[in-house]
Chain A
């Protein structure tokens, strides 16, 4: 490692399809800036906002979105550059990118032709001094998700990352992803918000152009049902007065009034427009557990986890059942964890313990873990430097970064080989902060049925 790297500032970017989580190691360790990864046009404001500029927006009705990501992959580089140009600057970061290192996340199974473009932007456009690229789940073992007091991090973990574009099940051994067992469900926050828009627009108000508002409705009202047909019955028996139905008061941006769930004592005003959230509250997140409810022929989350584990070496499968961790914004629905735990118990072998770890902030978990990784001395051993890139281009990155593709001359891991690699690696437990085991109790739902 060249000696100048030792004092390098490290910029950490979890570059998601919905939001960019960004900060500098040593300055924003526990709280990143969260920036929409979008170019947003506000009709009301007659203005266009790039990424972090959204905070200037005053009228969120009928926003038009241009997203760099399509189906979970970064395809619109013109849009991404317009957004990155505003944040990879000395003014915004308070440091000079050309004298800094960058840790950037990429999607699972990122396409090789796209990986090259990532590298080109980092070194050729922003000229970072060095850089490391990996997937969000691969960072989690550096973070606190699985930490329990006095315990080393488990060797075998299975991370569920449910984000904006899709949901991935990612088993790992000592921080290395077992790619042959990684599975993807094509359901994420974007699909759920769009489905909610459709339901509400057909049943009540036309909200098809109100992505921003409906995303807030989803985040404020939706929960995962632990008994789907029972809850459907409750909603049907008395659609107006049941313990599930909520009234969401739609925003009025001209009055600077935000949308919100009606509080029990809140007086109604004539100007209020009400959205009745009845079975929509749980029928929408239900799609993660039953994608076939909308005709998507993929197994639900619990079955997909069971399938993934079945592809791993038999002698260590039990460890994955007991080390399931949840990250990503779409795992935040109330009762997500308890529903998943209940379903998994019916699928796990009788002698396997099922244990689920919840993050205190699933959206920031990968970011915070990335900061922890960047704080380790060996981080700077793993980066690719600008010199290396200038010498051998993306080949330098292909050689060094962890990836789903076997490296040249390396065969794909087979079942037999994996268990041999297992050994007792005890990581030092820096802060020893408690993890958040969520086996027995998930977060409580705000429905009266919790």
Chain B
């Protein structure tokens, strides 16, 4: 682990005095589409199994399974990981066509969902698509995007919440996306 301390908050109990140029509620100019896209991007990041790409992580070493895992879409693997594995294990069985197809042609979940035809089921049949929890009943709370405490203010440029002047400064230096409005 590299010791890059970005900032450590020992002074989060700071002042709550009104802060210049702030609005406590998102103003009308904020583009909800851009904010939704940013949230979507973050949620996608939270689904990742690895942060660094295998190439960076395995640099200089034989790149085997990592490469196959990074392959997306219907690309055909140079050699399936499971073939290497079967050879190591001394497994002799020849797989059936169905199994070969599943092993060699990896599809993303989105692609499989598309191919499953769920979207064309009658509305009376519950599916993965209809099972998502309903939207929340209360409005979201504002939590400071820097320290996690309850935030009262939103950045005028990117609308991320922050709680006080310290966090505003950190936000401006390190986190502001400066482009939502």
A34 at the interface (CB under 8 A from B): no
Chain B residue at smallest Cβ distance from A280: B148
Instruction: Digitize B87-109: 1 where CB-to-A-CB distance is under 8 Å, 0 elsewhere.
Output: 00101010110110011101111
Can you name 16 extra interface pairs (CB under 8 A) apart from A41-B65, A70-B109, A206-B3? A73-B112, A75-B107, A78-B68, A78-B77, A78-B82, A78-B106, A82-B65, A82-B84, A116-B98, A125-B93, A207-B1, A236-B149, A238-B13, A293-B141, A298-B134, A303-B133
Q: Are A299 and B137 in contact, CB atoms less than 8 angstroms apart?
A: yes
Chain A, 107-138, CB within 8 A of any chain B CB? 108-109, 111-114, 116-117, 120-121, 124-125
Q: Are B126 and A292 in contact, CB atoms less than 8 angstroms apart?
A: no
Q: Are B51 and A209 in contact, CB atoms less than 8 angstroms apart?
A: yes
**Contacts A204-B8, A279-B149, A300-B136 given: A85-B49 contact, CB under 8 Å?**
no
B contact residues around A426 at 8 Å (CB): none
Chain B, 103-131, CB within 8 A of any chain A CB? 103-104, 106-109, 112-113, 115-118, 124-128, 131
A77 at the interface (CB under 8 A from B): yes
A64 at the interface (CB under 8 A from B): yes
Please, could you name 9 A-B residue pairs with CB atoms under 8 Å apart, sorted by A? A48-B64, A66-B68, A79-B69, A81-B99, A204-B8, A240-B10, A276-B8, A294-B43, A295-B43
Chain A residue at smallest Cβ distance from B70: A66
* Among listed A183-191, A218-226, A371-379, interface-contacting one: A183-191
Q: Are B85 and A66 in contact, CB atoms less than 8 angstroms apart?
A: no
Minimum CB–CB distance for A114 against chain B, Å? 6
B contact residues around A279 at 8 Å (CB): 147-149
Q: Are A66 and B49 in contact, CB atoms less than 8 angstroms apart?
A: yes
Q: By DSSP majority rule, is chain A's interface helix, strand, loop, or mixed?
A: mixed
Interface size classification for chain A: 35 or more
Q: Are B112 and A120 in contact, CB atoms less than 8 angstroms apart?
A: no
Chain A residue at smallest Cβ distance from B175: A202
CA of A279 to CA of B9, assembled, Å: 12
**Contacts A81-B103, A206-B4 given: A111-B128 contact, CB under 8 Å?**
yes
Contact with B102, one of A73, A86, A121, A290 (Cβ below 8 angstroms): A121
Minimum CB–CB distance for A135 against chain B, Å? 12
Q: Are B106 and A76 in contact, CB atoms less than 8 angstroms apart?
A: yes
Q: Are B106 and A75 in contact, CB atoms less than 8 angstroms apart?
A: yes
**Contacts A41-B66, A404-B127 given: A303-B136 contact, CB under 8 Å?**
yes
B61 at the interface (CB under 8 A from A): yes
Contact with B13, one of A41, A61, A237, A406 (Cβ below 8 angstroms): A237
Q: Are A298 and B133 in contact, CB atoms less than 8 angstroms apart?
A: yes
A148 at the interface (CB under 8 A from B): no
B24 at the interface (CB under 8 A from A): no
CA of A112 to CA of B125, assembled, Å: 14
Chain B residue at smallest Cβ distance from A199: B148
Chain B residue at smallest Cβ distance from A240: B10
B5 at the interface (CB under 8 A from A): yes
A contact residues around B143 at 8 Å (CB): 283, 293
Q: Are B131 and A184 in contact, CB atoms less than 8 angstroms apart?
A: yes
Minimum CB–CB distance for A403 against chain B, Å? 11
Residues of B within 8 A of A (CB): 1-10, 12-13, 39, 42-43, 45-52, 54, 57-58, 61, 64-66, 68-69, 77, 80-82, 84-86, 89, 91, 93, 95-96, 98-99, 102-104, 106-109, 112-113, 115-118, 124-128, 131-137, 140-141, 143, 147-150
Q: Are B82 and A208 in contact, CB atoms less than 8 angstroms apart?
A: no
A262 at the interface (CB under 8 A from B): no
Q: Are A50 and B141 in contact, CB atoms less than 8 angstroms apart?
A: no
Q: Are A183 and B85 in contact, CB atoms less than 8 angstroms apart?
A: no
Q: Are A210 and B85 in contact, CB atoms less than 8 angstroms apart?
A: no
Residues of A within 8 A of B (CB): 39, 41, 43, 46, 48, 50, 61-62, 64-67, 70-71, 73, 75-79, 81-82, 85-86, 89, 108-109, 111-114, 116-117, 120-121, 124-125, 168-169, 179-180, 182-186, 190-191, 194-195, 197-199, 202-211, 229, 232, 235-240, 250, 273, 276, 279-280, 283, 290-300, 303-304, 307, 404-406, 412
Q: Are A64 and B5 in contact, CB atoms less than 8 angstroms apart?
A: no
A contact residues around B117 at 8 Å (CB): 112
B contact residues around A235 at 8 Å (CB): 149
A contact residues around B104 at 8 Å (CB): 78
CA of A71 to CA of B107, assembled, Å: 13
Most buried by A among B64, B102, B135: B102
A contact residues around B52 at 8 Å (CB): 62, 64, 208-209
A contact residues around B103 at 8 Å (CB): 77-78, 81
Contact with A294, one of B1, B46, B125 (Cβ below 8 angstroms): B46
**Contacts A64-B54, A82-B81 given: A299-B102 contact, CB under 8 Å?**
no
Q: Are B81 and A299 in contact, CB atoms less than 8 angstroms apart?
A: no
Q: Are A299 and B134 in contact, CB atoms less than 8 angstroms apart?
A: yes
Q: Are B81 and A39 in contact, CB atoms less than 8 angstroms apart?
A: yes
Q: Are A186 and B132 in contact, CB atoms less than 8 angstroms apart?
A: yes
CA of A206 to CA of B4, assembled, Å: 6
Contact with A41, one of B58, B93, B133, B135 (Cβ below 8 angstroms): B58
Contact with B12, one of A109, A185, A236 (Cβ below 8 angstroms): A236
CA of A273 to CA of B66, assembled, Å: 29
**Contacts A46-B61, A299-B134 given: A293-B51 contact, CB under 8 Å?**
no
Minimum CB–CB distance for B158 against chain A, Å? 13
Q: Are B150 and A229 in contact, CB atoms less than 8 angstroms apart?
A: yes
CA of A385 to CA of B67, assembled, Å: 38
Minimum CB–CB distance for A100 against chain B, Å? 16
CA of A50 to CA of B69, assembled, Å: 14
CA of A265 to CA of B4, assembled, Å: 29
